[in-house]
C-alpha cells in the first residue's frame, strides 16, 4: 500500500469501548502529534497520553509566544502556541483520541491477543490500555510537576519556580511539598518575612532534618498528611480547603513537588538506554523492546520540531507496516542495506582506530 494514501477512521467508532488500541503514543508534543495523525490517517485507532493538561510539548510550554522561524512553509514565522494549536486540531480531526493529565508509568507484555497479535498493556497514573504498538514521544525535558487543583486559578500568586521576591513582609505563603526544594523555598520565604505553612502529603517531610528545624525556628508550620482539595481566588487572595477540613487563606502558593522526568520513566520501561540516558533505537526507530518505538527528543541528537515531526511520521509508518503485515520489520532487517551499511562502517571505523601510525 502506498505511504501517501489516507484511510480515514470511521467517525462512528466507539473509542471509549475499544477492546484494544492499534497504537498508543506517549506525549502530545510535536513528535507525538505528528505520529498520531499519521497512524490515524492510515485507519489505525490511536490514543495519545499526555502528562500535562494540554497538548503541544515544549513549543507550547516553554516558548508559546516566540516566533519560530525555521519551520519550512512559514516564511513569516509561527508562534509555538499557534503551531501547537494547528497540529493538535489536525490530529483531532483525524480522530486521534487524547487523555490529558495522565502519565505513563510502565509498559507490560501480556498473554492477551488482538487480531492474532500479542498485546501490550500501557499503564498510566490513571488506568491501563491494551494495544498493539507503542510510540514513545515524551521528550527528555524535566517539567515541574503541576497541581491540577490550582489550574483554575490562573493566579500570579501560584508559583512552580521559587519566585524572586525580596520581601514577603506580612504576607502568607503556603509551600506544597516535603522534599528539599520545598523546604528551601519555605526557609527563603520565612527569612523574607512571610508567615509560612508547608503542606506535606506524607506524615513527615522527606527533606533534610536541618531544614525542618530551621523552618520551626523561624516560626513556620509544617502540616503533615495535608493536601489541597479545592482552591478559589477571593478578592486577590487564595482560599484553600484542605483534606483535613481546614480553610487557609494565603497570598502565595509555591508548589515544589518534583519534576516530571522522562528519564525516570525510561528506566522503568526496561528499554536499552544510551550513555546519556536517552533511549537507544535502531534505524527503524524501534527500541530494544519489539513493538515499542521512540521518536523526537527522547532519543535524538538533533532537537528540532521538524526532526521530531519527521521521526514521528516515520515510526508511525513502520508501526503501520508491522500491523498490516506482521514481521515486516524482521524481514526488512534480514535484507537491510541500512544495517549492512552500518555494520560496514563500524568495522571500517574500528580498523581506522586500530591502524598503526
Ligand atoms: C527554549 C527552546 C526553544 C526552542 N526553539 C526551537 C525552534 O525555534 N525551532 C525548533 O525546531 N525547535 C526548537 N526547540 C526544540 C523543540 O522544541 C524540541 O526539539 C521539540 O519540542 C521536541 O519534540 P518532542 O515531541 O520530541 O518532545 P516535547 O516537545 O518535549 O514533548 C514531549 C511531551 O511528552 C509529555 N510527557 C513527558 N513524559 C510523559 C509521560 N511519562 N507520560 C505522558 N506524557 C509525557 C510532555 O509533557 C510533553 O508534552 C526549542 C527548545 C527549547 C527548550
Domain boundaries, the chain: 15-143+260-348, 148-257
- Atom 23 in ligand 1: which residue has the minimum CA distance? 30
Q: Is the pLDDT of residue 250 over 70?
A: yes
Confidence class for position 258, pLDDT limits 50, 70, 90: confident
pLDDT mean over 147-165? 81
Band (204; pLDDT cuts 50, 70, 90): very high
C-alpha 161 – ligand 1 centre gap (Å): 19
Instruction: Report the chain's mean pLDDT, rounded to a whole number.
Output: 91
Q: Ligand 1: does its nearest atom lie under 6 Å from the Cβ of 300?
A: no
Whether the CB of 57 sits within 6 Å of ligand 1: yes
Is the distance from the beta carbon of residue 299 to the nearest atom of ligand 1 less than 6 Å?
no
**Sign, CA torsion 272/304/38/45:** positive
pTM of the full structure? 0.79
Sign of CA dihedral 15, 19, 24, 27: positive
- List of E strands, 65-168: 67-68, 78-79, 97-99, 104-114, 117-124, 128-136, 142-144, 158-159
Ligand 1 centre to CA of 100 (Å) is 16
Q: Given ligand 1 and candidates 61, 139, 269, which is best to mutate, with the most ligand atoms within 8 Å of its CB?
A: 139
Q: What separation in Å is there between the alpha carbon of 108 and the centre of ligand 1?
A: 25
Residue from 25, 26, 91, 138 whose mutation best tests the ligand 1 pocket (most atoms within 8 A of CB): 138
For residue 216, pLDDT beyond 80: yes
- Is the CB of residue 54 below 6 angstroms from any atom belonging to ligand 1? no
Which of helix, strand or coil describes residue 218?
coil
C-alpha cell at 255: 508548589
Residue 35 CA: distances (Å) to CA of 15, 199, 269, 335, 348: 18, 40, 20, 26, 35
Per-residue pLDDT at 4: 67
Q: Domain 15-143+260-348 adopts which CATH fold?
A: FAD/NAD(P)-binding domain (3.50.50)
Q: Is 305 in the pocket of ligand 1 (CB under 6 A)?
A: yes
The whole-number pLDDT of residue 145 equals 84
DSSP H or E stretch at residue 48: strand 46-49
How many angstroms separate the alpha carbon of residue 87 from the centre of ligand 1?
14
Nearest residue CA, atom 48 of ligand 1?
57
Which of these CATH numbers, 3.40.1160.10, 3.50.50.60, 3.40.50.720, 3.20.20.30, describes 148-257? 3.50.50.60
Ligand 1 mutation pick, 24, 25, 26, 29, max ligand atoms within 8 A of CB: 29
- Identify the residue with better confidence: 19 or 345: 19
- Whether residue 15 has its Cβ less than 6 Å from ligand 1: no
Give the Å distance between the CA of 101 and the centre of ligand 1: 16
Q: Tell me which of 337 and 43 has the higher pLDDT.
A: 43
Euclidean distance between CA atoms 92 and 207, whole angstroms: 43
Amino acid at each position: 500500500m502506498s505511504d501517501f494514501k489516507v484511510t480515514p477512521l470511521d467517525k462512528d467508532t466507539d473509542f471509549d469501548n475499544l477492546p484494544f488500541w492499534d497504537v498508543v503514543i506517549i506525549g502530545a508534543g510535536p513528535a507525538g502529534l505528528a505520529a498520531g495523525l499519521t497512524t490515524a490517517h492510515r485507519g489505525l485507532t490511536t490514543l495519545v497520553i499526555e502528562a500535562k493538561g494540554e497538548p503541544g510539548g515544549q513549543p507550547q510550554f516553554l516558548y508559546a509566544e516566540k516566533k519560530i522561524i525555521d519551520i519550512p512553509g512559514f516564511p513569516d514565522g509561527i508562534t509555538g502556541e499557534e503551531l501547537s494549536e494547528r497540529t493538535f486540531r489536525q490530529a483531532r480531526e483525524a480522530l486521534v483520541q487524547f487523555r490529558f493529565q495522565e502519565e505513563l508509568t510502565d509498559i507490560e507484555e501480556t498473554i492477551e491477543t488482538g487480531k492474532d497479535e500479542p498485546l501490550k498493556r500501557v499503564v498510566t497514573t490513571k488506568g491501563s490500555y491494551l494495544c498493539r504498538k507503542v510510540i514513545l514521544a515524551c521528550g527528555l525535558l524535566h517539567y515541574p510537576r503541576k497541581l491540577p487543583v490550582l489550574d483554575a486559578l490562573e493566579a500570579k500568586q501560584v508559583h512552580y519556580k521559587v519566585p524572586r521576591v525580596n520581601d514577603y513582609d506580612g504576607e502568607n505563603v503556603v509551600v506544597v511539598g516535603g522534599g528539599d526544594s520545598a523546604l528551601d523555598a519555605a526557609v527563603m520565604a520565612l527569612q523574607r518575612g512571610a508567615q509560612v505553612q508547608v503542606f506535606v502529603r506524607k506524615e513527615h517531610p522527606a527533606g533534610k532534618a536541618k531544614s525542618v528545624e530551621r523552618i520551626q525556628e523561624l516560626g513556620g508550620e509544617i502540616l503533615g498528611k495535608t493536601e489541597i482539595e479545592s482552591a478559589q481566588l477571593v478578592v486577590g487572595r487564595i482560599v484553600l480547603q484542605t483534606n483535613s477540613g481546614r480553610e487557609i487563606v494565603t497570598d502565595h502558593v509555591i508548589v515544589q513537588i518534583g519534576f516530571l522526568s522522562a528519564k525516570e520513566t525510561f528506566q522503568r520501561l526496561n528499554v536499552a538506554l544510551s550513555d546519556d540516558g536517552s533511549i537507544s533505537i535502531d534505524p527503524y526507530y524501534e527500541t530494544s523492546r519489539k513493538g515499542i518505538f521512540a521518536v523526537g527528543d527522547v532519543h535524538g541528537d538533533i532537537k528540532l520540531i521538524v526532526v521530531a515531526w519527521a521521526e514521528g511520521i516515520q515510526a508511525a509508518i513502520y508501526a503501520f507496516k508491522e500491523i498490516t503485515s506482521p514481521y515486516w520489520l524482521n524481514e526488512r532487517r534480514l535484507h537491510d542495506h541500512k544495517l549492512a551499511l552500518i555494520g560496514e562502517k563500524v568495522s571500517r571505523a574500528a580498523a581506522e582506530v586500530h591502524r598503526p601510525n
